[in-house]
Amino acid sequence: MEKLEGVIFDLDGVITDTAEYHYRAWKKLAERLDIKIDRVFNEELKGVSRMDSLDRILEYGDRLADFNATEKNEMADWKNELYKETIVDIKPSDILPGMEAFLDELKQAGIRTAVASASKNAEVILQSLGIREQFDFVVDAAKIEKSKPDPEIFLKALELLDLPADVCVGVEDAAAGVDSIKDAGIRAIGIGDATVLRRADVVLAGTDELRLETLKSLV
Ligand code: BG6
Ligand code: MG
């Protein structure tokens, strides 16, 4: 009989609200380039790596051919510096509602946990939130080659957890992230809008709705 043995969490927008800070920093960079982005377009950036996000913005503004690799690296660095200014004060009270209690509950139940984040800032953020030790493993951008929606990051998390896909559940706020989970053969819980997170097995409006029973019912 299958049972829940592992849960793999995205970070930005699932454990803490850094998805909003990424959006604000990209919006400022886009403004400098005379490209207007909004929250609807931002759904396409969520979960996607820094350089892929920049390419998507440039493509959206029809400016992809205007910059060389050095200029694009400078733009990505500029965005990251802006973003880092907004996360410098991040603290345990910035953990999204219900998440700490949920992680405690998983630990009590002997369920292993990992973070699968496309962010190069993931370790710093987890340390600042004071919950790095809550997770058995962290797979971040430094440990993978292919960005979400590719399943590599969730497959790597399964490998580290030493668990098969069918006893695990992944939790994501991004369409690219849900695709990554599903293509790794894992059941997915989406946090956010069901019309955006179409491939998720269950969509919850917020992290405060996460229940162990819901995850167990999926495996
Ligand atoms: C993901 C975010 O977790 O990390 C994306 O959802 C972000 O918005 C990506 O672009 C890369 O993050 P960073 O911190 O390495 O620029
Ligand atoms: Mg996310």
Active site annotation includes 10 = yes
Give the integer Cα–Cα distance in Å for 73 and 71: 5
First to last CA, the chain: 10
Question: How confident is the model over 40-67, as pLDDT tens digits?
Answer: 999 999 999 999 999 999 999 999 999 9
Distance 106 CA to ligand 2 centre (A): 20
Query: How wide is the angle at C-alpha 46 spanned by C-alphas 45 and 47, nearest 5°?
Result: 115
Question: Within this chain, do residues 111 and 122 fall inside the same structural domain, yes or no?
Answer: yes
pLDDT in the model for residue 2? 57
Q: How many domains does the chain have?
A: 2
Answer with the one of 63, 86, 109 that is the final residue of a domain: 86
pLDDT tens sequence across 84-105: 999 999 999 999 999 999 999 9
pLDDT tens digits along 114-168: 999 999 999 999 999 999 999 999 999 999 999 999 999 999 999 999 999 999 9
Q: Is 183 a catalytic residue?
A: no
Q: Could you tell me the CATH number of the domain that includes residue 172?
A: 3.40.50.1000
Residues with CB under 6 A from ligand 1: 11-12, 19, 22, 45-50, 53, 80, 117-121, 141, 174
Q: What is the pLDDT of residues 165-210, one digit of tens each?
A: 999 999 999 999 999 999 999 999 999 999 999 999 999 999 999 9
Ligand closest to 190 (CA) is: 2
The model's pTM is 0.95
Q: Domain for residue 1, yes or no?
A: no
The sheet that has 112-116: what strands, in order across it? Answer: 137-139, 112-116, 6-9, 168-172, 187-191, 202-204
d(CA 131, CA 112): 14
CA angle at residue 17 from 61 to 53, to 5 degrees?
25
